[in-house]
A and B are shown apart, each in its own frame.
Chain A
């Protein structure tokens, strides 16, 4: 059976979970505009991993993404969600591949290098991508329609 397809547009928004940040373990960093962004380590992959997991906002809501933590026996309290634009992923010469996880994350995507057999997802570029993310506040998590305004 072939993989379901989904056209991913340049102005689509992607979201990804970010673990709780604390004084002793920084998972977010301040932006110049008074908001928070994901720390670059939170936008990196493991050595043996070739794609960075994220979800398409129009198919997976931030609340759903956080609720999915329960299936891993993780309490979502304190967890955050960062958002970023497909356009910015493309500007770093990565591509977004739709790879839905039936039942739990129908908007799941992987960010990877477009080159067949080329270099894997480069964590140095993850640093650039992290700087283009925005950590969503509670209102934006509850009402995702507010998220688009962040990238206007």
Chain B
């Protein structure tokens, strides 16, 4: 039986240079990040700052942001930061007092918004101005479902 080669292919070397670990068996590559994304700490700080929003922060009676919602948002970005191809979201809050994260595609026509409910559920809303038929909205408690929307939509 042929011994697997220990030499890195050019693609594997490129992945390692981008701080991925590469494991492979016959025909199957498993990639995972060996370091957190550079934007993760900055985003976590921004999410924590949502605690500073006082009741009425929008001048129309908005609620302060629920601490459980903030914690859910931090957990979500930690999980998504480990997924290839996911970039930094914009941080915001809803008048109901939920942390919110928004990803806008470079084309400017697609957007995914996630609202973190204090129950731990994630309310998502994907919209595509060019193809409104592909709009999706719903609830999930699985960050993986959000990762799929972000990487395949």
Interface string of A69-99 (1 = CB under 8 A from B): 1001010000100000000000000000000
**Contact between B92 and A27, CB atoms less than 8 A apart:** yes
Q: Which of B50, B56, B60 has the most CB of A within 10 A?
A: B60
Size bin of chain A's contact surface: 20 to 34
Excluding A19-B58, A46-B61, 5 further A-B contacts by CB distance (< 8 Å) are A25-B46, A30-B108, A44-B96, A46-B97, A124-B137
Q: Is A13 interfacial (CB-CB < 8 Å)?
A: no
Chain B residues with CB under 8 Å of A127's CB are 111, 113, 125, 127
Complex contacts, A40 vs chain B, CB 8 Å? 102, 113
For residue A49, which residues in chain B have a CB less than 8 angstroms away from its CB? 61, 95
Contact with B along A48-59 (1 / 0, CB 8 A): 010001000000
A44 to B113, CA, bound (A): 13
Give Cα distance in the complex from A47 to B60, angstroms.
Answer: 13
> In the assembly, what is the distance between CA of A27 and CA of B62, in Å?
13
B25 to chain A, nearest CB (A): 43
